[in-house]
Structure 1
Amino acid sequence: MFEQILLFFISLIANTLSSLAGGGAGLLQLPALIFLGLPFGIALATHKIASVALGLGASIKHLKNGGYRWQLVTIMIAGALPGVVLGANVILQIPEKIAMVSLGILTIGLGIYSILKPDLGMKENMRNLDLRGYLLGALGLFVIGVLNGSLTSGTGLFVTMWLIGWFGMSYTRAVSYTLVMVGVLWNGAGAITLAIIHQVKWEWLLVLLAGSFIGGYLGAYLALAKGNILVKRSFETMTILSGIGLFIKAFN
């Protein structure tokens, strides 16, 4: 019972912060599963399935606001899902330490870049909405999709920054797209793939799903209520902490 309660609160905190920042639930949830005794592969598959509930919880709140462009939705599905499936299939063939250190450096770099750009994502300035822009946008999302399907820790943060940097979204808008598309569709595809090719700790899933769903809804509520400043600060905090967390996991 203590183990189940601990898992719920870890999941709730991790997914509330992730819903605010547009990613990073794996910062707390994945290491916690490993700490409680699961091998990396089983912990990864279990976390990936639970993370779908984050997207569902956040989607309930974000979809009420609407404002989604079908072109962007299409490229986030068609461009990224093949990368997600590919990443989920090749994760066990990549040297774990090298992958985690590289991703940690990139993740911290995102946070520092955002801090050094105080106006970044504060206002909506949509761009690259032509055919070339969509194709290059889809290519970037494919690369991030490979990371999402494999390492899973913090890759939603890369999607958030890509949507801000390439398409000119505000932080709140980018996080909305990230949580609805990545949280449900990308993570759903990765979860199905990992469940097929790897063992899952099914008896822990119910409490993880509950924490993820409630955390996703709570984070989305706070993001929409408080606006870009809170989301930007949450993003910067989660990127730096996620990068540090990846370094720690890589050298433990």
Structure 2
Amino acid sequence: MDWIHSLGLFFGSLIANTLASLSGGGAGLLQFPLLLFFGLPFSIALATHKVASVALGLGAAATHLKQKSFTLQEAAYITVIGSIGVVIGANLILKIPADLAERLLGMMILALGIYSHFKKQLGQQVKPIHRNWQGWLVGSLGLMFIGIINGSLTAGSGLLVTLFLVRWFGYSYKQAVALTMICVGFFWNGIGGIAIVQAGASIYWAWLPILLTASFLGGALGAYLSTRFSNKIIKQCFELLTLLVGLKLLV
């Protein structure tokens, strides 16, 4: 790559990961299409994007852990349950029609964004619900399903996790975004990257330094902004990103 393309890849990835870290997902909205635009085949671009996204979670982790807005037990639960789905999804990606799956996901994300928009008080305050053994069990099924989406598709699964945590368990948007960045951004994407490589895809190592740097800086910047903004602003950013991601997957 010449320096112009390198700068384009860096700033595109930085913007995507900053928005994702602030809103709770959606880094693949811009980063993955950039990799395709610069010439990577689908499976190689997907594996490269998954590995680079690990730096997004790492960049956001330090800021969110300092806030102590969730327990390590909650993070471990989301990580372990979702990772099972991630491995399943990574092995399904080569066997299902990607276009159909992405359109269905796009419709789902759009619907969730619209739902959030009309639920004005959703995620504005912490309202713990479904945090008994029955609730955690049903929540496991939802998280595992989203994990399958994360392992097999390129964008949107973090947004699904964010809204699921808000709606099912009663977290605020700030808490949900923090959990999503650490559990999905770091652990799910890391496990997904390993699983998709084992399933037969390759990583384009030459671009990883640029992507890892931009993802880390974007994760750190977005996490910093999320601690400064109110739940209302984060909710609005989430809804905007669901609109963009949903339309991108549909078109």
1 CA distance for matches of 2:48 and 2:172?
Answer: 32
Question: How far has the Cα of 1:146 moved from its partner?
Answer: 0.2
Q: Does 1:220 align with 2:223?
A: yes
2 CA distance for matches of 1:68 and 1:140?
Answer: 19
Question: How far has the Cα of 1:2 moved from its partner?
Answer: 1.4
Query: What do the CA deviations read for 1:105-133 (whole angstroms, capped 9, x no partner)?
Result: 00111111111111111111011111111
SS at match of 1:115: helix
Q: Does 1:241 align with 2:247?
A: no
Query: What do the CA deviations read for 1:188-212 (whole angstroms, capped 9, x no partner)?
Result: 1001112332111110010001000
The amino acid that maps onto 2:201 is H
| Number of the residue aligned with 1:103 | 105
Pairing of 1:43-58 with structure 2 (within 5 A): 43-58=45-60
| 1:195 pairs with one of 188, 194, 197 | 197
1 CA distance for matches of 2:76 and 2:209?
Answer: 31
| Number of the residue aligned with 1:29 | 31
The amino acid that maps onto 2:112 is L
> How high is the TM-score relative to the length of structure 1?
0.96
| 2:133 pairs with one of 131, 134, 144 | 131
Question: How far has the Cα of 1:29 moved from its partner?
Answer: 0.5
Question: How far has the Cα of 1:10 moved from its partner?
Answer: 0.4
SS at match of 1:126: coil
Question: Once structures 1 and 2 are overlaid, which stretch shifts more, 64-73 or 104-113?
Answer: 64-73
Kindly report structure 1 stretches of 4+ aligned residues shifted beyond 3 Å.
none
> How high is the TM-score relative to the length of structure 2?
0.96
1 CA distance for matches of 2:210 and 2:243?
Answer: 27
Q: Does 1:158 align with 2:154?
A: no
Q: How many residues align?
A: 248
The amino acid that maps onto 1:172 is K
Pairing of 1:28-107 with structure 2 (within 5 A): 28-107=30-109
CA RMSD of aligned residues (A): 1.0
2 CA distance for matches of 1:79 and 1:152?
Answer: 20
**Matched-pair contact (CA < 8 Å) for 2:70–2:175:** no
The amino acid that maps onto 2:207 is W
